[in-house]
Structure 1
Amino acid sequence: MYNSRPGLVIAFHGCEADTCDALLTNPDFIKRSEKPYDWLGHGMYFWENNIDRAFEWAKNKKSRGEIRTPAVIGAVLDLGYCFDLTDSRFISMIKMHHSKLSQIYKKLREELPQNKDSKTDQYKDKILRELDCKVIEFMHDQITNWVAADIQLKGYSEYRIFDSARGVFTEGGPAYTGAGIAEKTHIQLSIRNPNCIKGFFLPRQEIDFLKSSLSKN
């Protein structure tokens, strides 16, 4: 009843400038990330209401030689049926699927992937999250299979396929000495259903509205 996220969300996607231009002129040019270490599973990734973090991410990609010109594009999103990891119900769900996946790997006598530290991450935040990605994708596959089997058997299903995923992540060192606040804490969004993306926009530069209003008087 309360699992769909009402209202629209403003979010930002850090990318190559050419990708930004392509999305503006052809908003159906949507490319999912399908890396084995994606934090929220596969999808198109956004920073919720955080343009500075999106641009910082793009600039870091440039410093590693992965893109030429860093840019940020804004998006208006409807998260729909959202796998929201701020919701206790969904944390319980992912724990259950981790248990199932662990049993499968145990029977196969194989080791589950693990979250790993990047060599360049001084804070050891396990940013290569292969375990989390594997468990989340396993969950999505299971739900999709249940829906397909139900539809084939009875024409409908009580199960629902997730449109998006959302999580709050603490990352980076403390914001100040003794802080319980991490410097790079952010809300990340992964859009699985492209229909959740209502449109893209080029972010404007903020003006000093008070200053401009006073100068006119």
Structure 2
Amino acid sequence: MNIIRGFHGTNKDSAEKIKQEGFDIKLINENIYKKPNKVRWLGQGAYFFENNLDCANKWAEVFNTNPSVVEGIIHFEDKDIFDVTQPYSPHAIVFEQEREVILKNAKNRKLDIKTTMAGLDGKIFDQICRKMNYKVVKASTYTPFDLCRENKVKSNISNVVEVCVRDKNYIKEIDIISSR
């Protein structure tokens, strides 16, 4: 059994509801995917910063007037996680291969990749997780905070490890860590 300690930035009311009822993955996905072509970067699920309370606090403060952070202890077996934190790992190679197939198909169908492939990474993660029955996705990502967010800075250099949990049964312990 493997364990990840994750922190989820949200608002105070949502934190209380999560503490009482757990993460409602279906509701999260419905709210996110209301917009056409809206797919989150690691696909569908509840998002956490791995072992990074500071980033979860910053994330909560950016989007909420009453920010709060929920800690979740995520339990999983090796077979349950798709981990692309290492660039040349078997999972990263599978991801790249899947991306190539999708892009070739789009090109063959003469689709405008820029418009039809919005959220491509998230779509690829969703497809891989469906095919292979993964419940947790883990990746090194770049999340802009403070001045970088204000100035819309994008970067190829990761500053966090994010975990996306697709099944709430993998989140075993939930606690509210901070409310400012």
Tell me, yes or no, whether TM beats 0.5.
yes
Decide which structure has greater helix share: 2
Which residue is 1:52 aligned to?
A: 54
Which residue is 1:92 aligned to?
A: 93
- Report 1:107-118 matches (<5 A): 107-113=108-114
The Cα offsets for residues 164-195 of structure 1, whole Å up to 9 and x where unpaired, read as 1001124557xxxxxxxx6x711100001221
Q: CA RMSD in A?
A: 2.6
Q: Equivalent residue of 1:52, what SS?
A: helix
Displacement of 1:37 after TM fit? 4.1
Give the structure-2-normalised TM-score: 0.75
- Report 1:10-29 matches (<5 A): 10-27=5-22, 29=24
Extract unaligned runs of 5+ from structure 2.
149-156
Q: Work out the percentage of aligned pairs sharing the same amino acid.
A: 21
**Higher-RCO chain (CA-CA 8 Å, sequence separation at least 6):** 2
CA distance in 2, matches of 1:198, 1:113: 39
Q: Is contact 2:24-2:168 (8 Å) kept? A: no
CA distance in 2, matches of 1:70, 1:101: 38
Displacement of 1:9 after TM fit? 1.7
CA distance in 2, matches of 1:170, 1:18: 27
Q: Equivalent residue of 2:58, what SS?
A: helix
Give the structure-1-normalised TM-score: 0.63
- Report 1:63-102 matches (<5 A): 68-80=65-77, 81-87=80-86, 88-102=89-103
Displacement of 1:21 after TM fit? 0.5
CA distance in 2, matches of 1:186, 1:134: 21
Q: Is contact 1:113-1:134 (8 Å) kept? A: no
* Structure label with greater radius of gyration: 1
CA distance in 2, matches of 1:193, 1:166: 14
Which residue is 1:137 aligned to?
A: 126
Q: Equivalent residue of 1:32, what SS?
A: helix
Q: Equivalent residue of 2:110, what SS?
A: coil
Q: Equivalent residue of 1:78, what SS?
A: strand
CA distance in 2, matches of 1:140, 1:111: 25
CA distance in 2, matches of 1:21, 1:53: 20
Paired AA for residue 165 in structure 1:
V
The Cα offsets for residues 40-78 of structure 1, whole Å up to 9 and x where unpaired, read as 11111011111111010011113xxxxx31111111111
CA distance in 1, matches of 2:41, 2:85: 14
